[in-house]
């Protein structure tokens, strides 16, 4: 009965822990021999035969026959008189192999073996989990939320393995309830107090990179390469991509028709704005693209300081910097250069306020231009006469006279 109970216990562990046959056999043999060593002081004269398929095992003890007067080690020796009872033909010096019922060792020995087995299996399982997820670092996994705490979320994968998503690795705005599923990337696996600790992340640039690989087949096929990713989780990200096939537009392929490909990524990242930038070794051009949507007038690279001075028109400065400096900081991280923004002051100084022309243009005419938001000479000259006539209550002749006066100022 004890044998049957033990084998059932082994089978349960084998099914639950998904341990391969060879490993299971090795563990069982080791545990048996450790127990036999404790009971007899030696394991070398025992053979353990385990048949997991049939659900049984056998223990055979090998002893040498000695004269009754020389008998002093019951673990390795058997008296000649006892051997004769087994077979009359036995003689001194021959080996005798007998099957030993494990139950004969006592209930305490059975309990000890079972505890040792449990310890070995759990240790082996921890090692398997550690090795399995060590190989999956950088891989996206989908897991079920099991428990939500203030500082972290506990998840379970398909095999019931516990995973941790710390608060610091969650996107601002992430909110999950027990039973929901979420996607994240494995970023770290370590052993803590002999327990595998698997750390997930949704804020890592690697997570965004893997999402692009899932949504853009050209990346998975190697036709498009992601050169670098920088992001402020939940706010904005910039992705530099390059194509090795001139026929493929890397930015267009990543965005998809009408944004079909990138929309799925944006939703997964809680509406994080994603700028896809075409990579180039032309540094000024790359920085200009990285600062999109702002339009750059001129860029000066200072290699010694890894610094770039960017010159823009006044109306482009705020777009280049972005909310809270987000755009310019990410562009700097993407390019590897510290970016400094300068306004085109020279151009501003060339412009002249319309009030300065009050000695040549009547005040009521100047007011007409101001009503449509044109209060400087250049702001008027940027528009056609047809547009100005249409938007103001001025005659065409008056508008042409004003344009002539303003142009003369800059000639």
Q: What is the pLDDT of residues 242-263, one digit of tens each?
A: 998 888 999 999 999 989 999 9
Helix axes 2-17 and 21-40, enclosed angle (nearest 10) = 140
- Measured in whole angstroms, how far is the alpha carbon of residue 27 from the centre of its chain? 35
pTM exceeds 0.85 for this model? no
How many C-beta atoms lie closer than 10 Å to residue 401's C-beta? 15
Tokens 């009359």 belong to 88
Structure tokens at 297: 């007038």
| Average per-residue pLDDT for the chain | 85
* 3-state secondary structure (DSSP) of residue 240: strand
* pLDDT classification of 2: cutoffs 50, 70, 90: very low
Q: How far apart are CA 86 and CA 301, in angstroms?
A: 97
Q: Which residues pair with 163 in a beta bridge?
A: 155
Nearest residue to 216 (alpha-carbon basis) of 254, 267, 272, 176? 254
Q: What is the pLDDT of residues 365-398, one digit of tens each?
A: 988 888 776 778 887 887 888 888 887 888 899 9
Q: How far apart are CA 345 and CA 341, in angstroms?
A: 12
pLDDT surpassing 70 at residue 345: no
Q: How far apart are CA 197 and CA 189, in angstroms?
A: 6
Tokens 């992705």 belong to 239
Residue with the bigger pLDDT between 202 and 24: it is 202
How many C-beta atoms lie closer than 10 Å to residue 373's C-beta? 8
pLDDT surpassing 80 at residue 59: no
Contact 369, 403 (CB under 8 A): no
pLDDT surpassing 70 at residue 285: yes
Q: How far apart are CA 88 and CA 140, in angstroms?
A: 70
Domains, the chain: 2-131 (3.30.1480), 136-201 (2.40.50.140), 204-268 (3.30.300.20), 280-349 (3.30.300.20), 351-410 (1.10.150)
């Amino acid at each position: 009965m004890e044998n049957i109970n033990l084998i059932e216990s082994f089978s349960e562990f084998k099914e639950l822990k998904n341990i391969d046959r060879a490993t299971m056999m090795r563990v069982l043999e080791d545990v048996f021999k450790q127990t036999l060593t404790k009971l007899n002081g030696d394991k070398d004269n025992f053979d353990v035969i385990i048949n997991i398929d049939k659900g049984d095992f056998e223990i055979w003890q090998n002893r040498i026959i000695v004269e009754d007067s020389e008998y002093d080690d019951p673990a390795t020796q058997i008296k000649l008189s006892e051997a004769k009872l087994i077979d009359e033909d036995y003689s001194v010096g021959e080996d005798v192999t007998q099957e030993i019922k494990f139950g004969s060792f006592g209930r305490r020995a059975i309990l000890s073996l079972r505890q040792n087995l449990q310890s070995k299996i759990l240790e082996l399982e921890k090692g398997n989990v550690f090795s399995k997820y060590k190989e999956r670092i950088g891989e996206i996994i989908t897991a079920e939320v099991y428990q939500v705490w203030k500082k972290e979320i506990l998840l379970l994968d398909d095999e019931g393995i516990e995973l941790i998503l710390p608060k610091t690795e969650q996107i601002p705005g992430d909110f999950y309830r027990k039973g929901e599923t979420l996607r994240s990337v494995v970023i770290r696996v370590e052993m803590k107090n002999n327990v595998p600790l698997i750390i997930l992340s949704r804020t890592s640039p690697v997570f965004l990179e893997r999402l692009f690989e899932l949504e853009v087949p050209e990346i998975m096929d190697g036709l498009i390469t992601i050169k670098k990713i920088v992001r402020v989780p939940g706010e904005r990200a910039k992705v530099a991509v390059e194509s090795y096939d001139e026929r493929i537009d890397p930015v267009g392929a990543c965005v998809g028709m009408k944004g079909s490909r990138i929309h799925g990524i944006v939703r997964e990242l809680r509406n994080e704005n994603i700028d896809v930038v075409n990579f180039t070794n032309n540094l000024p051009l790359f920085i200009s693209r990285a600062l999109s949507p702002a339009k750059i007038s001129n860029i000066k690279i200072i290699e010694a300081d890894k610094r770039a001075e960017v010159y823009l028109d006044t109306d482009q400065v705020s777009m280049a910097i972005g909310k809270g400096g987000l755009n310019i900081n990410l562009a700097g991280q993407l390019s590897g250069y510290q970016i400094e923004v300068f306004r085109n002051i020279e151009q501003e100084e060339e412009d002249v306020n319309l009030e300065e022309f009050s000695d040549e243009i009547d005040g009521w005419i100047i007011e007409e231009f101001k009503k449509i938001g044109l209060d400087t000479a250049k702001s008027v000259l940027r528009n056609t006469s047809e547009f100005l006539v249409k938007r103001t209550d001025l005659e065409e002749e008056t508008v042409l006279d004003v344009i002539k006066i303003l142009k003369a100022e800059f000639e």
